[in-house]
Structure 1
Amino acid sequence: MKHLVWEDLSNRYSYAEFRQLTNELLAKGLTTGSDHSPAMIHYTELNVTRMNRLDKRSRLTEETLAALHKIKRPLVWLTITEAWCGDAAQIIPVLEQMANEQPLIDHYLILRDEHLEIMDAFLTNGARAIPVTIVIDKESNEVLGHWGPRPEVLQHQVMEAKAATLATVNPDERALIAEQAKIDTQKWYARDKTLSTQREVLELIGTLLEY
């Protein structure tokens, strides 16, 4: 996808609007997407807690602030997400903080299952993995690049766990491996404190804008 007319997208949310939507759905016993099972509602509730915590506690590093202030070109960061996604809850709040620090960046969110044609242009190893943040030139709508669904080190860890899950024949063992992988992922985010996300996103932006 070379160009993306982001202004014409239906159901494009600011971070605040996305948080409000999530809360409204939860009040009805729902989440985003079509799967409203107890498990998905539980994941969404956990994500609200995670986002609340990150909104209050995560901090941008001095390196991040300096890199953001180098940006001279109006950009749109368009993040593909869903309310039940555990990775998104750990990543999107810091992306929002970064965008808020630089007036030339507008950050919007769209739901994966409402925009599959966009999602399918940014697959990860053939999968509709989220979150994915697309970097767009605000004036020309040119797609400059994208980042996601998670920091590189964690992505490697997740793929190893997925391979172990697929290699396991016993369904109960497979479920245990998959559940442990989710726990390990959240522990990784807690240890990392958003530092890898900040660094990798800005490395991408620096490469794209050549500064």
Structure 2
Amino acid sequence: MINTIKQVLENSFSYADYRKKVANLIAEGKSTGHEQSADLLHYSELNETRMHRLDKTIEVIDEMKNKLQNLDKKYIWLVLSEGWCGDAAQIVPVIHKMAEVTDKVELKIALRDDNDALMQYFLTNGGKAIPKLILLDAETLEVLADWGPRPAGAKQLILDYKAAHGIVDETAKIELQKWYLHDKGISIQNEIVELHENILA
């Protein structure tokens, strides 16, 4: 897997470059990924607005900031994402803000469809659910942990909705976005910091 990771890192983006890539494609009437459709473009445009808002409003809480600044060594957070993914639009800006508050973390973002070999190692119930955060030792590139595609509360919301309605439809997606709005990125921060704590435990 190490060679796959090296390859993905070579083709990965900084957060700023990822945002630029998505925005440039939208300007051309396209979305990221190997499929193109009016729906995917529509979701990409919605997500662009969401990410823009989150970039301005998300704050890393002090407790998490302290823990991130006091990590034991340097890490790479490699995130598999796509511009059309609603969960990614809510989660990736939070991960970016977290990486910004510490010199112990370097954030790299890679497009899922362009990096299928790596995605295959990190399937969720057999599916290519994103975003997926892969936590790497910066020196050895060893995979220490992974997280995603959703925080526990968001995951539960979708499971409950599916149990009650049999499908995940537009209403479910709206409920999910409301959950993220209400949570303000706190669950994401807690769960990713916990991931680091579990490595050290």
**RMSD across aligned C-alpha pairs, in angstroms?**
1.6
Can you give the 5+ residue segments of structure 2 that lack an aligned partner in the other structure?
A: none
Alignment of 1:178 with 2:178, yes or no, is no
Q: Is the Cα contact below 8 Å between 1:161 and 1:178 reproduced in 2?
A: no
Alignment of 1:187 with 2:178, yes or no, is yes
Q: Which structure has the greater CA radius of gyration? A: 1
Relative to 1, partners in 2 of residues 1:119 and 1:162: Cα closer, same or farther, differing over 3 Å? farther
Deviations 1:72-93 (A, max 9, x none): 2111000000000000010001
Aligned to 2:26: 26
For 1:149, give the aligned amino acid: P
In 2, the alpha carbon distance for the partners of 1:27 and 1:44 equals 11
Aligned to 1:147: 147
Aligned to 2:73: 73
In 2, the alpha carbon distance for the partners of 1:92 and 1:163 equals 28
Q: Is the Cα contact below 8 Å between 2:68 and 2:104 reproduced in 1?
A: no
Aligned residues: 200
CA deviation after TM superposition for structure 1 residue 156, in Å: 1.7
Can you give the 5+ residue segments of structure 1 that lack an aligned partner in the other structure?
A: 168-173
Deviations 1:17-52 (A, max 9, x none): 000001110111001012221111110011111111
For 2:190, give the aligned amino acid: R
Instruction: Report the 3-state secondary structure (helix = DSSP H, G, I; strand = E; otherwise coil) of the residue aligned with 1:202.
Output: helix
Q: Is the Cα contact below 8 Å between 2:4 and 2:117 reproduced in 1?
A: no
Deviations 1:101-140 (A, max 9, x none): 1112110011111111111111111111100000000111
For 1:202, give the aligned amino acid: V
**1:10-21 correspondence to structure 2 within 5 Å:** 10-21=10-21
Q: Is the Cα contact below 8 Å between 1:158 and 1:181 reproduced in 2?
A: yes
Aligned to 1:202: 193
Range 28-37 or range 73-82, more displaced:
28-37
